[in-house]
Amino acid sequence: MIARLDLRGSRPGLRELRAALPRAEFDVEAALATVRPIVEDVRDRGAVALAEAAERFDGGAPPSLRVPAEVVAAALGGLDPAVRAALEESIRRARIVHEAQRRTDHTTEVVHGGSVTERWVPVDRVGLYVPGGRAVYPSSVVMNVVPAQAARVPSLAVASPPQRDHGGWPHPTILAACALLGVEEVYAMGGAQAVAAFAYGFEEDGAVCEPVSLVTGPGNIYVTAAKRLLKGLIGIDSEAGPTEIAVLADATADAEHVASDLVSQAEHDPLAAAVLVTHDAALADAVEAALVRRVAATKHTERVAEALAGRQSAIVLVDDLEVGLDVVNAYAAEHLEIQTADAAAVAARVRNAGAVFVGPWAPVSLGDYCAGSNHVLPTGGCACHSSGLSVQSFLRGIHVVEYDQAALRDVGGHVVSLSRAEDLPAHGEAVLARVPEVEPGA
């Protein structure tokens, strides 16, 4: 059902842990060879290439790449009331959290007459990608759109793959989520071709999809490869891989809670990673027994079983909580649950995680939908250097420098000295042209 990795009797260092801990095989570099001609075709042929790609990869081209407003409105009109209420609450909570992340400009007076202001400016236009493979992800619409709107991005567009069963449009629930958020520009396009379309822009029947500055949102390996290929022409949020959950637990944890949370993430994808780290062998046994029961009873039994049996999943046994913290910090999970005694204090010692879920009443699935947090998070160990999607993802800090003549004169000699030290004398001459009386070093 799930492998065991026994680290008891040792306290391995970071290098050893990174080599030993389970990871999914996710070779983005290999996917580049497949993605490159798709991206280049979209660059060269625009809408025609996008329609052909939809025929090839999605089972049929949409009636038009841009989804008409009436189709979006009809999707909202046909939305199940319970789902609508849940989406509205998800949006409300996400707005509370993300509006609080907004940054304000700050001016620092370095010297009298000389200041530096850090001004926070949203990107001009973003493309927000919402996957549409094994599952339907209206929650990803919320998680992408809300922070972009909170950042006051002036132009945004959403893309999601066309669905043959829905007239070639994206799934109606995704369209309904767009409608609830007030998104007017929605495209029926998926995969690497959607990322390319956002990066280069295209024209369809006289209507133009302008290029974007930034593309965010998770996707499959081909979406990730396209983001890697086009990074530089566009900004990206991250190179998202298969989803991950790690649970750090002790004897106080409920084995049924732990097992249900491992299953909940495993149902995303056969490559999804589910990792339990514990120093309690009895808990490990109880969780494994609970997994057997729950996997047999869940809807996506085969997918979950494959994920749990894969090389990316394991129960990791350690000597104590200290080593357990070493393990989860080295693993740097997308989602990390702390199910221990004094869970808040333990969580405060976590340095590397996309999001941390504290105690028995904060499962990852709460964060997926309605906690108010964002579920677009770093995977594959990238949480040791990267953050999840937030308002900050859509902002750029611009330094605005203001010095008057006296302030420049006061520091000008130092600028001249440093310019000469770097053999860039024209830098200093630009100062001397303004305040010729300064002396190097003064």
Measure the CA–CA gap between 339 and 337, rounded to whole angstroms: 6
Which residues share a beta bridge with 396? 121
Which residues share a beta bridge with 47? none
Q: Is 98 helix (H, G, I), strand (E, B) or coil?
A: helix
Contact by Cβ (8 Å): 186, 170: yes
Q: Looking up tokens 């637990």, which residue turns up?
A: 249
Measure the CA–CA gap between 134 and 125, rounded to whole angstroms: 29
Contact by Cβ (8 Å): 129, 168: no
Measure the CA–CA gap between 144 and 273, rounded to whole angstroms: 23
Q: Using the CB atoms, write b or e for 189-208: b if 16+ within 10 Å.
A: bbbbbbbbbbbbbbebeeee
Measure the CA–CA gap between 118 and 130, rounded to whole angstroms: 32
* Cα–Cα separations (whole angstroms), residue 6 to 1, 214, 281: 16, 43, 10
Residue among 171, 257, 335, 375 flagged as catalytic: 335
> How many CB atoms are closer than 10 A to CB 322?
12
Closest CA to 384 of 268, 244, 250: 244
Those residues whose C-beta lies under 8 Å from the C-beta of residue 389, and which sit 6 or more positions away, are 143, 144, 147, 216, 237, 374, 376, 377
Active site residue 334: yes
Measure the CA–CA gap between 155 and 148, rounded to whole angstroms: 9
> How many CB atoms are closer than 10 A to CB 20?
14
Q: Looking up tokens 């305040």, which residue turns up?
A: 435
Active site residue 98: no
Measure the CA–CA gap between 246 and 17, rounded to whole angstroms: 14
Q: Is 117 helix (H, G, I), strand (E, B) or coil?
A: strand
Residue among 267, 334, 337, 375 flagged as catalytic: 334
So which residues are the catalytic ones?
334-335
